[in-house]
Structure 1
Amino acid sequence: MGQKEQSLTDKIQAQLSEQMMGLFESVMQERKVVHRSNPSLAQQSADSIIGSYSNGNAVISGTVGLIPGPMGMLAVLPEILKIMHNQISMVYDIGASYGKETVITKEVLLGVVIGATGTGAASLLVMKGSTILVKRATLSTFQRVIAQLSGRVTQQALKSAIGKWLPGVGAVAIAAWSYYMTRQIGKQAKEIFEKEISWEGNTTPSDDLEDNTTPSDNVLEDLDLSSSSGESENIEFLRVKAIINLIRADGVIEEEERIFFKNMLQNASLSKDEISQIRESLQSKSKLPVDFKVLAKHPDEVVSLMVDLVSVAKRDGNFHITEKMYIKQVGQALNLDAADVEEMMSVVV
């Protein structure tokens, strides 16, 4: 990533962090008023709540005119924040549907959301048997976890087709990404609210605790979001090969697809040797080898690859049956739930 792109990425994270600091509290107060005025909302099933918010976020995303890369994401930051607002609202509504509205706090909301992004929420929520223990977060702890979340959201978005090297698929990409992540957050909320929720040390939501956490108590202190350049290049190489296999799934490579290949290879961060391997393999009809076990170790990469595949498959408006079959096979290789894969493919933009 160049210096200018890195600067834009840092700016995105900073703006997300700033906007999200008050978002969890404001959404909580907002939903309290809504539920007080409409008690019947708590009678909705968790699954119907998840479906409604997921579809709504996909619609928001599908209207976005996105240019690739950090500049594009910076331009659609208001839409990203709207999506997150809806995701937090969804978590609250799911909690209410389980009769847990009295224990919902900003810590619970943030713990659910960040846990679903592939990051541990140990600084906020702790599993003890069948009970979820909630830690009261001081301002400094909350700020650090918010920074973690904004970094994770930015990473996930820019690693996917929303990023720089897959032109022409931005709207589909962000729709698929927001739909999938909304469903994952919804599932996380169900898992949390199905259990008993209490406050660590017999505290209550109104208690004002000191910040006695140590580095090992905080998710942010111990998690290294960076990866070595070698690993990043290897993973991107795997992703490119998977995308090429998808495009070749119907057995025919059209001229438009050859141009797409050329643009992708020019913009992807691949070594000369990796590019040579791909060009040589394109001369045969065999699938390029992809070690999905490597990708499966990285939750962000799993999400990004699935978003890439769905976005590329839908870029021309014709979602071929062989493309669907290949995406299902990839999902299985990445240990994804078959229903999640089906739902991601069903997103309409």
Structure 2
Amino acid sequence: MKGFSIIIVTWNALEHLKNFLPSVTKTDYPNFEIIIADNASDDGSKEWIKSTYPEIKIASFDRNYGYCGGNNRAVPFAEKEILLFLNNDVKVEKDWLYGLNKAFDDDLVAAAQPKMRSVTESDHFEYAGAAGGFIDKYGYTFCRGRIFDEVEKDEGQYDDKTDLFWASGAALAIRKDLFLKSGGFDEVFEFHMEEIDLCWRMQNQGFKITYAPESVVYHLGGGSLPMGSPRKVFYNFRNSLFMLWKNYSSTSLRKRFLLRIFLDIVAAWKALLEGKPKEWLAVARAHVHFLRSLGDLTRKRKALQQKRVTDDDPKTMLDISLIWQHFVKGVKKFSHLK
């Protein structure tokens, strides 16, 4: 049995801890530990954990480092071989770690995620991870079980184990040695898509990302970055450009990146015509910030490209346009993509 270090980043989320942490502590598995990465909470979170679950480790930080920074800084406290980054609004089934343990029997598997259902609608997949993440050739992300805002009911249609492009950061299991070797989460991302960037980097180095359907968790979601907020739109567009510039193959960067820029511009003007000027501004800000960061991103790209084991993009990048499939062809389910 592999050991799991479950790392939960939190900041002033005592109610979430009270609602969701008990299920994690009741995990039925012989080799795991729980680490709370506290980003300088002042709501009594640490005091409650110490009195209620004294066996849990607490990594206390001097300020709020967000998801990326909080997780990176908690890793030195981990003593097990598999890191499991778990959001503080996730409930788990008692036997959830067994399926994830099995996923790492393959030495080429760097990371894995469980099946992710919604807390509020438990027979449906959850937006952030569903049955595992994919990406189209222009960098638009989606899941088995979720395309844009279309979330499917879980009827066992995705119960097969399969390789993914990315595993959701809401419940991301990853080998500790590879996480450290890869440099961990890129903190320039702050929030959103940092796990996709990490999974892409590891695939470019010859490793695999996989899905453990036997493992089931329930995610509330939407806490730190509510759906539709201009802040979420900003991070969505900016971090996608960051990720593409860093990790695309040379061929894709040359052939596809400018078209992705064009598609972003179309999305921005669509938002404006729909009476959403704040979304238009968020997309514009994202592109300005990308251009200002281009020097640093290019240096990162050069270093990462030297570590590639193949000149091609990962096979798990689907050779489709999700925009065309969904908005023109009307495809709403992953299984209907062509």
Q: TM-score, normalised by structure 2?
A: 0.28
Structure ID, larger Rg: 1
- Structure having the higher strand fraction is 2
Q: TM-score, normalised by structure 1?
A: 0.27
Larger RCO: Structure 1 or Structure 2 (Cα < 8 Å, ≥ 6 residues apart)? 1
